[in-house]
Amino acid sequence: MALVRFVVSQTHAESGVEGGLFGAAYALRDAEDVSQEHRQELSELLLWFEKHLPTPNRFNRTSSKGYYRRNQKGIAWFRDTAEGHLSRMHELKRIAEANGHSVALIREDRVGYVVYEDDVQVIAEPFADTRTSP
């Protein structure tokens, strides 16, 4: 099974890899120079994800004291079987690209040390050879 990640060309400060599409989508939703139509679409899509995509408790594999204060090394991947989630991610991608963001899709089989997983996503700290950028 392949895992899929949507990335923008901005480095995520904590993980050190290219940032995911959600960060750009939230920024666009709140930007005043984005059309009202796009902001409304983004609001609806992001609300759907907030309701239908579980938020993991942690993004680090360590469980040592103070793990919650450490930089989050884990990155999120969608399972390629999560069709409803992926179709909405493509909608986010369309809107982000219409507003000047470059969004790439990465497919990977070996994503790293799994920290969390459910039916639609896997959170993993990447192996040294895990492809995290296009």
- pTM (2 decimals)? 0.85
Helices (H), ranges, the chain: 21-30, 36-52, 83-98
Quickly count: other Cβ atoms within 10 Å of residue 48's Cβ: 14
CB 106, CB 134: distance < 8 Å: yes
**C-alpha dihedral sign at 28, 33, 38, 43:** positive
Contact 98, 34 (CB under 8 A): no
As a whole number of angstroms, the distance between CA 36 and CA 39 comes to 5
DSSP, res 61: S
Domain ranges of the chain: 3-125
- Rounded to whole angstroms, the Cα distance separating 48 from 31 reads 20
pLDDT in tens, 21-76: 999 999 999 999 999 999 999 999 999 999 999 988 876 755 555 545 555 678 89
59 and 74 Cβ atoms separated by less than 8 Å = yes
The SS3 of residue 55 is: coil
**pLDDT tens, 13-22?**
554 567 899 9
